[in-house]
Amino acid sequence: MILIQGYQINEKIYESTNTLVYHANRETDNKSVILKILKPDYPTQMELSRYRREYEIICSLDLECVVKAYSLERYQSGLLICMEDFGGIVLKDWLTNYTLTMPEFIKMAIDIASAIGQIHSKNIIHKDINSANMVINPQTRQLKLIDFGIATTMETHDMSIPHYSTHVLEGTLAYISPEQTGRTNRPVDYRTDFYSLGVMLYEILTGRLPHENTDTMELVHAHIARTPVSPQEFGTQPAPLTPLQDGGGNTRIAPILAWDGVGTQTSILSDIIMKLMAKNPEERYQSVHGLKWDLEQCLHPPLAPPPEGEWNLCRSSEGEVRTGFELGQKDFPQQFQISQNLHGRRENFVQLTDIFEHVCAGHVALVMVTSKAGMGKIVLVNEIHRPVAAKQGYFIQGQFDESEQHVPYAAFSQAFNELCNYLLVEDETTLHKWQTQVQEGLGKDGQMLSDSIPNLTMLIGEQPPITQLGNQETQNRLHMIFQNFIRTLSNKEHPLVIFLNNLQWADEASIELIEFIISSLIW
């Protein structure tokens, strides 16, 4: 057991790659507290900043639905946050041993939605809503949100301008929204929490996650392009006799559907959850008020015995069965949103997707997109994000700049640095596969490409020095290496789209490279 000055450590509650969580007593007043400790082995500046940011956000909220933070303290080379202990345990752990009744589930869903609404009212987006980031007091059933490590304020960026996290998959991958993957050309706003809430409610209701792939790219693809089986369909399946295991070997949450052999559920709860998990933010709930109103309709008036073995949840005031109602009747946007849907360029978009399908069949294509300034060229091109992600491909982009025409391959450097970052956040097996392929594809010439793509070193490590050649020979050799690099990273299973913006400012070397790639690259 570790020693921390000023605290009596009782037990370790949780451990992750970077964090330790302990139950302890504060020696000054013997108060029971929770200590969240950043592991002291040389934490990065980013990790330290994240802990400070989390502490500041929690303190600024001062809400009953959020676990309170008492102090931020130094611990060895890292930090610790001393937090409130209200007798809570992680919701996911509690639900592995306790099966909610349907009314209890609806009440819990309303409580969680209320908590999310309260933090949104303080202009905070949580960005990591899941069943492990809610804690519950088993006696009082009080729920509180924890882990604001990647939370952000709504003022951090202009919501009318797409804000992308193109190479960092922030959040718990099984729960993140399509836009939070950074692959959909959509901004991340407060509605990302609604998607994650939908996944969480799906999990509690069915005992399963909507997408249970263990491969990172497969899971990202599923969030973006694959519609999960609706919760209603699980209601016809018999309850398991033994605890289920998820993809990682962990015990699943005990399902409510098929609970006690009840049978199928009415469709309304399933519809609410599927609306929360809509791929486009515009199709989800737009406010917590609208979501809560729909959920509350499922609780009034009191439930009557289910007829003929069917669990009918919603009843009207006259007492007859309500098989459903129109969702979102009280749902209105809680802030002004500019739609990110493409308008007036449908024909052009169809052309792009047709060309992309041709590429997916094993061809190479060069597409020139031209128009006057302000006509939406970039928005049009960015719409290709979703079909690319649906094919488990990569969309990367770089931009030529008038002031950097003297810098060779500047836009290519940006684009391929981004691609390296994409690969670095893959799961260990996929990352190792790409590292092996890239290393084999580049052979002994990796150093030459690393000079133009600095992040390549992070992917495959330091490369041996190369023999110096004349200027023209060096350029010819570099073009060959770029070609091998692209060939290595693009195939029918993972097509690659490279978007080079402002081609009119391209340097001469980049123009020659584009000509070389198109004329010689054959899969």
Whether residue 393 is found in the same domain as residue 491: yes
Look at residue 364 in the predicted model and tell me its pLDDT. 80
3 state SS of 267? helix
Structure tokens at 225: 């392009």
Domain's final residue, options 84, 115, 130: 84
Q: Are 312 and 266 in contact (CB under 8 A)?
A: yes
Q: DSSP 3-state helix, strand, coil percentages of the chain (rounded to 5)?
A: 40, 15, 45
Structure tokens at 314: 């919603």
Q: Is 42 left (phi over 0), alpha (psi -120 to 50) or beta?
A: left
Domain's final residue, options 39, 58, 84: 84
Residue 184 has pLDDT above 50, yes or no: yes
Whether residue 19 is found in the same domain as residue 115: no
Would residue 285 count as lying in a domain? yes
Whether residue 487 is found in the same domain as residue 504: yes
Whether residue 146 is found in the same domain as residue 243: yes
Tokens 């198109």 appear where?
Answer: 518
3 state SS of 270? helix
Would residue 351 count as lying in a domain? yes
Percent of the chain with pLDDT over 90: 32
Q: Are 266 and 324 in contact (CB under 8 A)?
A: yes
Q: What is the mean pLDDT of residues 228-235?
A: 82
- H helix count then E strand count, the chain: 17, 14
3 state SS of 176? coil
Give phi and psi for 343, each to the nearest 5. -125, 135
Give the tens place of pLDDT for each residue, 241-266: 444 455 445 567 777 765 443 433 45
Whether residue 273 is found in the same domain as residue 391: no
Alpha-carbon gap, residue 513 to 519, rounded angstroms: 10
Instruction: Give me the number of domains the chain comprises.
Output: 3
Residue 207 has pLDDT above 50, yes or no: yes
Question: What are the CA-CA distances from residue 96 to residues 11, 91, 142, 232, 515 (Å)?
Answer: 21, 9, 18, 21, 59
Q: Give the range of the structural domain holding residue 400, as residue numbers without chain letter.
A: 346-520
Alpha-carbon gap, residue 193 to 442, rounded angstroms: 42
Would residue 186 count as lying in a domain? yes
Q: What is the mean pLDDT of residues 392-408?
A: 86
Question: CB within 8 A of 226, min separation 6: which ones?
Answer: 211
Whether residue 302 is found in the same domain as residue 429: no
Least confident of 89-93, 316-320, 330-334, 384-388: 316-320
3 state SS of 475? helix
Whether residue 143 is found in the same domain as residue 192: yes
Would residue 338 count as lying in a domain? no
Whether residue 140 is found in the same domain as residue 252: yes
Least confident of 148-152, 301-305, 358-362, 488-492: 301-305
Domain's final residue, options 84, 99, 133: 84
Give the tens place of pLDDT for each residue, 261-282: 343 345 788 899 999 999 999 9
Separation of CA 468 from chain center: 44
Give the CATH number of the domain where residue 19 resides. Answer: 3.30.200.20
Which helix (H) or strand (E) covers residue 12, if one does?
strand 7-15
Question: CB within 8 A of 76, min separation 6: which ones?
Answer: 40
Give the CATH number of the domain where residue 144 resides. Answer: 1.10.510.10
Whether residue 175 is found in the same domain as residue 56: no
Look at residue 251 in the predicted model and tell me its pLDDT. 62
Residue 46 has pLDDT above 90, yes or no: no
Whether residue 278 is found in the same domain as residue 374: no
Give the tens place of pLDDT for each residue, 429-446: 888 888 999 988 888 888
Alpha-carbon gap, residue 517 to 509, rounded angstroms: 12
